[in-house]
Amino acid sequence: MLFQLLFVTVSFSQDVTVQGHVTNIFDKSVIGVSVKLQGTTIEVFTDSIGNYQITAPVKGKLVFARRGYETRKITVKGKTKIDVYLALDLNGSNEPEVNTGFSYVKQSKTTQSSTPVDQKLIKQNKEVDIAQLLQTIPNIKVVYDGSDMKLIIRGMKSFNGDNYALIVLNGSPFYGSLNDLDRNSIESIDVLKDAASLTSYGSRGANGVVLISTKARK
């Protein structure tokens, strides 16, 4: 009886490795989702195809969160595979600040639309490269011109034949290769993909603007 009691106690205290896949309403993989063990600092992010892996207690609870989606909490219950569906956050409970390219202002104070890459993903997931970071933003497509990385914002077309988004690095247009940027120096990435891009950057912003800030600017 004592042996059985000890066995049960140890069983409930064991950890399991949980793996899974995160998708959205369009049945598309969601990149850069924070998967956190509730009540701890243990956190991982979904990779470039929406997969994750985390070690958790058999009775632990996982919190799935990403900007633009409703947060979900799921109890492990000893499962080793948990696939998750995230619904779009239509309420927008926390008013975000918008990067206009020149300053940060409250969204209600501007007509300009800016979509950022999750800050925690940039800071904590160093193995996720620049291309994968950019692809966490809806409607961004990474293409390659030879070895050079280019960005296309779907739905935006230019009449001059150049459909690539303008890259602005630390406030100035950047015409070099994104492959040359140091991934570890990146502090923030924001994307302007509406008419406000034209307001701020003229015809150069006709295909959208990708704002990249690095730690070197401080």
Closest listed residue to residue 100, CA positions, set 90, 84, 111, 85: 111
What is the mean predicted confidence (pLDDT) over 134-159? Answer: 76
The whole-number pLDDT of residue 110 equals 39
- 97-217 is classed in which CATH architecture? Beta Complex (2.170)
The whole-number pLDDT of residue 33 equals 86
For 2-85, give the CATH class: mainly beta
Domain ranges of the chain: 2-85, 97-217
The whole-number pLDDT of residue 154 equals 67
Any idea what the Cα angle at residue 128 is, between residues 124 and 129, rounded to 5°? Answer: 125
Mean pLDDT score across all residues of the chain: 76
More confident residue, 121 or 74: 74
User: Could you please report the per-residue DSSP string of 167-195?
Assistant: EEETTEE--S-GGGS-GGGEEEEEEE-ST
pLDDT digits (tens, 9 = 90+) for 102-140: 344 444 433 445 677 777 777 766 777 888 888 777 778
Give the three-state DSSP class for 141.
strand
The whole-number pLDDT of residue 217 equals 45
